[in-house]
Structure 1
Amino acid sequence: MTVVNIPTKAHVLIFPFPAQGHMIPLFDFTHRLALSGGSSLTITVLLTPKNLPFLSPLLSSGVDVETLILPFPSHPSIPSGVENAQDLPPSGFPSMIHALGDLHAPLLSWISSHPSPPVAVVSDFFLGWTQNLGIPRFEFSPSAAIGCCIFNTLWLDMPTRNNDDDDYEILEFPKVPNCPKYPWCQTSSIYRSYVPGDPAWEFIRDSFRANVASSGVVVNSFSAMESVYLEHLKKEMGHSRVWAVGPVLPLSDGGNRGGPTSVPVDHVMSWLDAREDNQVVYVCFGSQTVLTKEQTLALASGLEKSSVHFVWAIKEPVQEEDSTRGNILDGFEDRVAGRGLVIRGWAPQVAVLRHRAVGAFLTHCGWNSVVEAVVAGVLMLTWPMRADQFIDASLVVDELKVGVRACEGPDTVPDPDELARVFADSVTGKQTERNEVVKLKQAALDAIQERGSSVNDLDEFIKHVISLTLNK
């Protein structure tokens, strides 16, 4: 009798960076990985204790996912009890990256003592140090492929300004397709904060450089949107292990994925149900951005003057000294009653964008928001603030032609009259951009259909991970 040796399941460790905009797409990818991998994969997700609630939608979805809970390392720059970058200003991201590096030893101990240790780790692009765990590491990028190209160039080539006092000096990236260029102040704030010779910063630099040396990269994008940048990543990394698996869609948007809210989901949807098709402007700046008092007033004035119908999701201030921001809209909601809905806190963004009534989206251009708008076929009005958002805005407006500029910069106070014009025009004109976003929406949906480019890439990724088990 012939004995057939059936290989054990391939064990994959998933390690997200603890920030909402990073965890959610990686968990959504993990869900797809579990569904597509089926009985061939064992999946473990690594979290620190206070971030476990973010995993609830995945754990309750019915897929078989295990958890590894490790204590968050103490760090002098991170207040005790803080385990999520959302609870820090954007300037706190480097401290979070450095602090998580102290999980290296306990993680190695867990891997070495596990009866069926993982054959691979898929970790966020802020966690390049996981390249040194003795198993193949695959980078997960919550940013666009062009963002990966720019970040890799920054940390490998370390370009500098000619004039240290000129924040608007143009930095060019001639090695990247289409030769992107940005003012110095619009490049990565983490990169601009780099301090040569400082041990913490050298750790962060090495961590970013490790992304290029990783065994592969998984990107929440799709070929029809970013083929030239995906091909550049393959060339840069010296192999074809670049998998575009997007758009990575959420498990659901009916529950609370992001925190407390002042308006129930069913009320938001019934309010939209009473509006005409493509006549509502949705306004949201993501999970971190809090507008200044002056910006909030200018935006409110622009919405009021525009006469458009709108849904405005406002992030409540968390710092005591910002408490005046919470009351500056007194009287505004009364004046726009019937055509404006203000949500304080979390909004069901995916469901809002996909509603037939929503025709435009004023966005900070975080990559998750861009992808969600593309899938919904909604015109984007761009107001990038920081990080990769300027890169995303240029891609959306200049290359893909699916958006128009509304404002830019974290400190800019827009002109209310100009904003009013942009809002009004977004629901009555911009037919060229509207046609392009409809085409891109279809391409996105095609990518995730059977035999679509992103489904094929996900299958190829799973086959590659399984091969690591067979080759052990």
Structure 2
Amino acid sequence: MSISDIGTGSHILIIPYPAQGHILPLLDLTHQLATRNILITILITPKNLPTLTPLLSTHPTTITTLILPLPPHPSIPHGIENVKDLPLGGFKAMMLTLGDLYNPLLNWFHNHSNPPIAIVSDFFLGWTHRLACELGVRRYAFSPSGVFALSVIFSLWRYMPKRVDETNESEVVKFCNVPNEPEYPYWQLSPIYRVYVEGDQESEFIRDGFLADIESWGIVINSFTELERVYIDYLKVEVGHDRVFVVGPLLPPEGDVSGRGGPTSNDVLSWLDKSGSEKVVYVCFGSQTVLTNKQMGVVANALQKSGVKFVWSVKEPTVGHDAADYGRVPTGFEERVAGRGIVVRGWVPQVAILSHDSVGVFLTHCGWNSIMEAVAAEVLMLTWPMSADQFSNATLLQELKVGIKVWEGANSVPDSDELAELFRKSVSEETRLERERVKELGKAAKEAVGEKGSSVGELDRLVANLSH
């Protein structure tokens, strides 16, 4: 039986969470499932429909859309359908609002001539497990986070650790049940968890969602066996079955690495072509994080003092950020570093940049997609986690010896001299061992998604399970 025949006749529903870091890896998984002849419907809101254009053009007969408007919520202005456009603090409201799609989905299922036999939905949509149970189909939770981070998240919501001193944000919380017994100051735990109030309807809805992830028929994770084997084994024990499918790195199809998410920035790639092998530091803090002007000044000063070549992707202020206080590149900086570095405002083709031979180091906020892309590209990481699972991700990178700690926290400001020295050191022979280690992991990542690789086998096992 060929790969394209594995899922013949099976129809599944894919439900993404509307944030770029969640949508993109789930769409990459959708592509992989479509190539294995699974019939797919993707639930999407009208504003996010253009995100599907490449996928729909690649699989015009295999993938269809279910377009449903985002239900109203007092905290979400009319017309906003993506987390990146939300006011600060709107993340929780988005999770609750999407839960109101329950009845429209129920009606759609009951009126469909060939309803899906399974639901694959983001782990922020735990309520879809209850929907699946009511419909008598299987629900698979999709995790855009890695296995280690997911283990910490599940441990939080299942065991609900408490502080001894409710006023001490620095009190350490230990996860003794997770391998290597990680521990974090309370302020580094999930922000959703930290605002949990027992008995509060909204808080209980969110907790029930994460517990439903644990109870779901299967869990699909964007990672690969060789990266997180010990945590994969642990998670299977924790959820009580082996239907944990580790299918990454989930990356865009070949040929789509430059254009994903927006137009290609040819100037960046042309500049990199002239910059020498593995000597460029790439600086980017993801699609959500906007640095304060003070942080911007420290990064700029460090880049200038270090003497390294660099590409700096600057996220400009969005809803909830005062343009006077956030995202401003210091006056004259670009002139002072002309020829040695470039600043790009807005979207950049990150996969293409990391994959370029000239890029050797990545200063990152430790979002999981960025980590997967950097590992696959064999690029050493400097870690500055800001929030959510990023602290767990940074722990894993340091444990694997492919990440060097810079700083921690969205409100913290590193010393510019120390950061400059890290930039200089990162492209020198002083990090040779770390570079060799990330190259080993990068080769393992490529093998995982290659012919007879571990992730290819996991994808086939997933499709067989979906089609059962």
Q: Same fold (TM over 0.5)?
A: yes
Indicate the SS of the match to 1:446.
helix
Match of 1:45 in 2: 42
Contact 1:259–1:345 (CA<8 Å) still a contact in 2? no
One-letter code aligned to 1:206: D
The equivalent residue for 1:124 is 122
Whole-angstrom CA distance in 2 between matches of 1:18 and 1:59:
18
Secondary structure at the aligned position of 1:338 is classed as coil
State the match for 1:351 in structure 2.
352
The 5-angstrom pairing of residues 432-451 of structure 1 reads 432-451=433-452
Asked if 2 retains the 8 angstrom alpha-carbon contact of 1:306 and 1:423, the reply is: yes
- 1:174 equivalent in structure 2: 176
Which letter maps to 1:291? L
1:391 corresponding residue in structure 2: 392
Secondary structure class of the residue paired with 2:467: helix
CA positional deviation for 1:258? 3.3
Any conservation in 1 of the 2:12–2:120 contact (CA below 8 Å)? yes
Give secondary structure in 1 for the equivalent of 2:90. helix
- Report the equivalent of 1:245: 247
Equivalent residue pairs, number: 454
Distance in 2 (CA, whole Å) between partners of 1:455 and 1:321 is 45
Provide the rounded CA distance (Å) in 2 between the counterparts of 1:55 and 1:114. 22
From 188, 210, 231, give the equivalent of 1:208: 210
Corresponding position of 1:417:
417
Query: For 1:182-331, what aligned pairs fall within 5 Å after superposition?
Result: 182-251=184-253, 252-259=255-262, 265-319=265-319, 321-323=322-324, 325=326, 327-331=328-332
Residues 292 and 327, structure 2, Cα contact 8 Å, conserved in 1: no
Q: How do 1:30-109 residues align onto structure 2 when only pairs under 5 Å count?
A: 30-35=30-35, 37-38=36-37, 41-62=38-59, 64-89=62-87, 91-109=89-107
CA separation of 1:87/1:228 partners in 2, compared to 1, >3 Å: closer, same or farther? same
The alignment's C-alpha RMSD in Å is 1.4
Match of residue 381 from structure 2: 380
CA contact (8 A) 1:317 1:323 kept: no
State how far apart, in whole Å, the 2-side matches of 1:138 and 1:126 are: 12
What do residues 233-284 of structure 1 show as CA deviations (whole Å, max 9, x unaligned)? 1111111100100011113545543357xxx522111100101111100000
- CA displacement 1:282-320 (0-9 Å, x = unmatched): 000000000001000010000000000000000111246
Q: Could you tell me the percent identity over the aligned residues?
A: 54
Are the equivalent residues in 2 in contact too, given 1:48–1:69 (CA < 8 A)? yes
CA distance in 1, matches of 2:177, 2:237: 11
What is the CA-CA distance between 1:61 and the residue it aligns to?
2.2
Structure 2 Cα separation of the partners of residues 441 and 295 of structure 1: 31
What are the equivalent positions in structure 2 for 1:143-182 lying under 5 Å apart?
143-182=145-184
User: Is contact 1:91–1:190 with CA below 8 Å preserved after alignment?
Assistant: no
Distance 1:89 1:359 in 2: 35
Provide, for residues 130-163 of structure 1, a one-character-per-residue CA deviation record: whole Å limited to 9, x for no partner: 0012221000000010111111111111111111
Match of 2:361 in 1: 360
What one-letter code is carried by the residue in structure 2 that aligns with 1:357?
Answer: S
Residue 447 of structure 2 aligns to a residue whose secondary structure is helix
Residues 351, 8 of structure 1: CA spacing in aligned structure 2 closer, same or farther, 3 A cutoff?
closer
Instruction: Identify the range of structure 1 (103-112 vs 245-254) with the bigger mean alpha-carbon deviation.
Output: 245-254
How far did residue 54 of structure 1 move? 1.2
For 2:461, the equivalent position in structure 1 comes to 460
Structure 1 regions of 5+ residues with no counterpart? 1-6, 468-472
Cα pair 2:303 2:423 within 8 Å, conserved:
yes
CA distance in 2, matches of 1:217, 1:52: 25
Shift of the alpha carbon at 1:436?
0.5
SS in 2 for 1:243: strand
Structure 1 residue 325: Cα displacement: 3.9
What is the CA distance between 1:201 and its match in structure 2?
1.4
| 1:184/1:324 CA distance change after superposition, 3 Å | closer
- In the TM superposition, what whole-angstrom CA distance separates every residue of 1:205-246 from its partner, at most 9, and x where no partner exists? 101110000001000001100011111111111111001000
1:3 aligned residue: none
Shift of 1:323: 3.7
Checking the alignment, whether the CA contact within 8 Å between 2:282 and 2:311 is kept in structure 1 is yes
Encode CA deviations 1:320-350: one digit per residue, 9 max, x unaligned. Answer: 6224545542210000000011000011100
- Cα gap change, 1:180 to 1:324, in 2 (>3 Å): closer
* Contact kept? 1:282, 1:361, Cα under 8 Å: yes
Taking the aligned partners of 1:258 and 1:323, their CA distance within structure 2 comes to 27
Distance 2:86 2:304 in 1: 32
* Whole-angstrom CA distance in 2 between matches of 1:256 and 1:351: 9
- Of 246-255 and 347-356, the range deviating more from structure 2: 246-255
- Kept after mapping to 1: 8 A contact 2:127/2:209: yes
Counterpart of 1:322 in 2: which secondary structure? coil
Which 4+ residue blocks in structure 1 deviate beyond 6 angstroms? Answer: none
Q: Deviations over 1:347-376 (max 9, x none)?
A: 110010011100100000000000000000
2:402 maps to a residue whose letter is: V
Conservation of the 8 A alpha-carbon contact between 2:406 and 2:419: yes
User: How far apart are the structure 2 equivalents of 1:128 and 1:324?
Assistant: 36
Instruction: Report the secondary structure of 1:430's partner residue.
Output: helix
Measured in 2, the distance between the counterparts of 1:283 and 1:125 equals 28
Mapped partners of 2:207, 2:362: distance in 1: 35
Q: Would you say the 8 A contact 1:44–1:67 is kept in 2? A: yes
Q: Secondary structure at the match of 1:91?
A: coil
Q: Is the 8 A contact 1:221 1:247 kept in 2?
A: yes
TM-score, normalised to structure 1's length? Answer: 0.94
